[in-house]
């Protein structure tokens, strides 16, 4: 797995379009979760809030999980991982590498990118919202599970509809059905 992860990280960091499209999703997700948690925390302590807003605040952990699930699923790295291999993908298929290891390395790479952001934003949300123990666990575990599901879905769509014949890496990232289908799901 280490060699495959190194190869994926080399492609990730050497292709600016790939890096910005994939790195922005977890970063923006973390920022959104933290901002919403802080705003809801401030609203919880306010005394002059509207009755409708109080109902909204009661569902703060669910809202945090929903935001996480949506934003962290916008662009999983697996939805364009095969595209980024380009014509080398056929070479990878001919190497004596187990297909399961190859595909799991793509999912593992995506999770390595997302889990730190999920943990940091989840911990900050827990600190500000002070939810119950079950909500704390859900705020951390649910986004990880959603990201894992999005990783699998993105990889499946990218395997079914790869765009490996491109002249510029931006085409592989931007003109990709895998991202669209993953986002729709």
Walking along the chain (185 residues) 10 residues at a time, the average pLDDT comes out as 80 77 83 86 67 70 86 77 68 72 86 91 90 90 90 83 69 64 69
| 162 neighbors 89 (Cβ within 8 angstroms) | yes
> What pLDDT score does 124 carry?
92
SS3 48: coil
**How confident is the model at residue 86, as a pLDDT?**
66
Q: Are 30 and 120 contacting, i.e. CB atoms less than 8 angstroms apart?
A: yes
Give the pLDDT score at 169. 67
pLDDT of residue 50: 65
pLDDT at position 48:
59
In terms of C-beta density within 10 A (0-12 exposed, 13-18 middle, 19 or more buried), how is residue 164 classed?
A: middle
Q: How far is CA 16 from CA 21, 22, 184, in A?
A: 8, 10, 25
Q: Contact at 8 Å (CB) between 108 and 1?
A: yes
Secondary structure of residue 30 in the 3-state scheme: helix
- Report the pLDDT value the prediction gives residue 153, as an integer from 0 to 100: 86
| Residue 69: φ, ψ to 5° | -60, -40
Q: How far apart are CA 107 and CA 93, in angstroms?
A: 17
> What is the structure's pLDDT at 40?
82
How many Å separate Cα 173 from the centre of its chain? 15
Cα maximum dimension of the chain: 67
174 in Cβ contact with 145 (< 8 Å): no
Long-range CB contacts for residues 8-14, cutoff 8 Å, separation at least 24: 8/77, 8/81, 8/105, 8/106, 8/109, 9/109, 11/84, 11/85, 12/77, 12/84, 12/109, 12/113
């Amino acid at each position: 797995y280490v060699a495959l992860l190194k190869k994926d990280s080399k492609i990730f960091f050497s292709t600016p379009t790939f890096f910005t499209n994939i790195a922005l999703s977890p970063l923006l997700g973390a920022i959104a979760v933290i901002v919403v948690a802080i705003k809801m925390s401030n609203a919880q302590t306010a005394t002059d809030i509207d009755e409708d807003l109080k109902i909204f605040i009661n569902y703060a952990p669910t809202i945090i999980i929903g935001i996480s699930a949506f934003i962290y699923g916008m662009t999983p790295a697996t939805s364009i991982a095969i595209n980024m291999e380009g014509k080398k993908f056929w070479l990878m298929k001919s190497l004596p590498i187990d297909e399961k290891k190859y595909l799991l390395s793509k999912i593992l790479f995506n999770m390595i990118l997302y889990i730190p952001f999920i943990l940091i934003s989840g911990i900050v949300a827990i600190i500000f919202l002070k939810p119950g123990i079950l909500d704390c666990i859900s705020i951390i575990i649910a986004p990880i599970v959603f990201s894992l599901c999005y990783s699998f879905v993105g990889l499946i769509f990218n395997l079914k509809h790869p765009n490996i014949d491109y002249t510029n890496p931006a085409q592989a990232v931007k003109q990709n059905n895998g991202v669209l289908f993953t986002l729709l799901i």
